[in-house]
């Protein structure tokens, strides 16, 4: 059994793990990065990056179809999903190759294999060549998460798909049944609708995108209905059976059971942390509902073991994992780094896009604030009209007494890019007056944030009061 010694060992090479390894190495720590699969984890290989590549292709296809509105007509527009999947694979390969190069340049040693903790900072790693023991002074747990399975709908990669298999489809199924009206289900459901599939979405709760601002969700739901996506709320997929002409799913609805025919079943009911079979219980690490609790420096319940990303708790977002990675690496190096952010922005790549940071109006009320709200519709924005994309609005939630920005929410074109201004406003403790008083270039989409600030103060000149 071979043995390696180092200062820091990181288990998992997703957007948390590889960032932690590189940052630790930058700080002079001899670092080993252990990964059982591909570098980049779920996000780069089968999640964030490939899904957005495919979604972007769908958006481009729809823009081409709508271009006739302003005099551009494309004859013989075709979809070659096989070529699209190959292109997506090239994007992923380029990024994962880049991670390997960054690790090499930083001096990080990559060990391919499955790791199990036998001590707070000691890993036994099973590789293709045998077992290697990695003994370190500190360890970082960054094992991420995996899709949850719906009882009776085990993913088989043929009829029942997770997001992973959906992103490798080389032809759009004629009829797609989506279990789960959360962000993954709606992102992929919208994309497949643009690719030509008939889509049905079933959600157990009374609303799509549970937990999101209802005002934003209404805009997305209206858009889905325009695309003839069928939505069943307060409904549950009970069972399915295969047949000669596809599958049939039995759904329990408010009006009784209904059978729905489809060619593919897409299971998207959230994710669960990867904390099992890692030896955590053996070394005394506290685990709650699958998550590993940590303090503000990402330390677990035992010394010298840190946890970051999805396995460390909500929100299960790649950018949160990357930030925690920096905190953990710097904490190990003795720097005064901590999880002291005010809020983590979230983005949903539906059409239109949704992006939020901070509190909604209802959350602000529950926290004891007297919220004031300013909204500005993209339909009144010159840039949105010029690009023929006017659905949605920008909204600012603030404390009426102090004018402090409590939340920024956007549904509409390029919402994912606009939200960073809101995140900075919260992090910097800005007031609405600061956003409204900042001159935004014209004509641009970020003007919607400025105009929402003016609207909150009753000063907007571009919408009727």
Helix or strand or coil: residue 300? Answer: coil
Helix or strand or coil: residue 453? Answer: helix
Rounded Cα–Cα distance for residues 440 and 450 (Å): 7
Contact yes or no for 167/50 (Cβ under 8 A): yes
Contact yes or no for 392/325 (Cβ under 8 A): no
Rounded Cα–Cα distance for residues 179 and 30 (Å): 45
Contact yes or no for 343/405 (Cβ under 8 A): no
Rounded Cα–Cα distance for residues 412 and 403 (Å): 25
Rounded Cα–Cα distance for residues 81 and 168 (Å): 9
Choosing from 442, 454, 457, 462, which is the catalytic residue?
Answer: 442
- Going by C-alpha positions, the residue among 311, 321, 315, 324 that lies closest to residue 285 is 311
Rounded Cα–Cα distance for residues 25 and 21 (Å): 6
Q: How far is CA 190 from CA 18, 91, 104, 215, in A?
A: 31, 21, 39, 19
How remote is the C-alpha of 224 from its chain's centroid?
Answer: 20
> How close are the terminal C-alpha atoms of the chain, in Å?
75
Token digits for 195?
Answer: 């690719």
Rounded Cα–Cα distance for residues 325 and 11 (Å): 12
Rounded Cα–Cα distance for residues 460 and 235 (Å): 42
Tell me which DSSP letter residue 217 carries: H
Token digits for 36?
Answer: 């059982």
Q: Is 319 a catalytic residue?
A: no
Q: Provide DSSP, 49-92.
A: HHHHHHHHHHHHHHHHHHGGGGT---TT----HHHHHHHHHHHH
- Residues with active-site annotation: 442
């Amino acid at each position: 059994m071979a043995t390696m010694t180092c200062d820091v060992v990181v288990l998992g090479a997703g957007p948390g793990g590889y960032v932690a390894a590189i940052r630790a190495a930058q700080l002079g720590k001899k670092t080993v990065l252990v990964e059982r699969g591909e570098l980049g984890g779920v996000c780069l290989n089968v999640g964030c990056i490939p899904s957005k590549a495919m979604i972007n292709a769908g958006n481009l296809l729809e823009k081409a179809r709508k271009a006739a509105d302003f005099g551009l007509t494309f004859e013989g527009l075709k979809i070659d999903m096989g070529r699209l999947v190959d292109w997506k694979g090239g994007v992923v390969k380029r990024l994962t190759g880049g991670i390997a190069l960054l690790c090499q340049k930083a001096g990080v040693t990559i060990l391919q294999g499955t790791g199990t903790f036998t001590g707070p900072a000691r890993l036994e790693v099973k590789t293709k060549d045998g077992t290697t023991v990695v003994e370190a002074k500190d360890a970082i747990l960054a094992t991420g998460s995996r899709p949850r399975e719906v009882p009776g709908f085990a993913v088989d990669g043929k009829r029942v798909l997770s997001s992973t298999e959906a992103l490798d489809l080389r032809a759009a199924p004629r009829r797609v049944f989506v279990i789960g009206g959360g962000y993954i289900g709606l992102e992929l459901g919208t994309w497949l609708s643009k690719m030509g599939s008939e889509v049905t979405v079933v959600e157990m709760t009374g609303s799509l995108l549970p937990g999101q601002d209802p005002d934003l969700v209404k805009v997305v739901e209206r858009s889905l209905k325009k695309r003839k996506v069928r939505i069943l709320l307060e409904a549950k997929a009970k069972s399915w059976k295969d047949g000669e002409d596809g599958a049939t799913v039995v759904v329990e609805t408010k009006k009784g059971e209904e059978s729905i025919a489809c060619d593919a079943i897409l299971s998207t009911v959230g994710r669960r942390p990867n904390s099992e079979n890692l030896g955590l219980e053996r070394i005394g690490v506290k685990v709650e509902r699958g998550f590993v609790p940590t303090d503000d420096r990402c330390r677990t319940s035992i010394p010298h073991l840190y946890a970051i990303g999805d396995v460390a708790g909500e929100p299960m977002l790649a950018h949160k994992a990357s930030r925690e990675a920096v905190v953990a690496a710097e904490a190990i190096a003795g720097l005064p780094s901590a999880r002291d952010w005010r809020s983590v922005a979230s983005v949903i790549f539906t059409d239109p896009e949704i992006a939020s940071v901070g509190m909604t109006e209802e959350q602000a009320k529950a926290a004891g604030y007297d919220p004031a709200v300013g909204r500005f519709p993209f339909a009144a924005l010159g840039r949105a009209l010029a690009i023929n994309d006017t659905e949605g609005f920008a909204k600012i939630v603030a404390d009426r007494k102090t004018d402090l920005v409590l939340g920024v929410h956007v549904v509409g074109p390029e919402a994912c890019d606009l939200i960073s201004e809101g995140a900075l406003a919260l992090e910097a403790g800005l007031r609405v007056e600061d956003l409204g008083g900042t001159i935004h270039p014209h004509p641009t989409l970020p003007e919607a944030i400025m105009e929402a600030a003016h609207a909150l103060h009753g000063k907007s000149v571009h919408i009727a009061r």
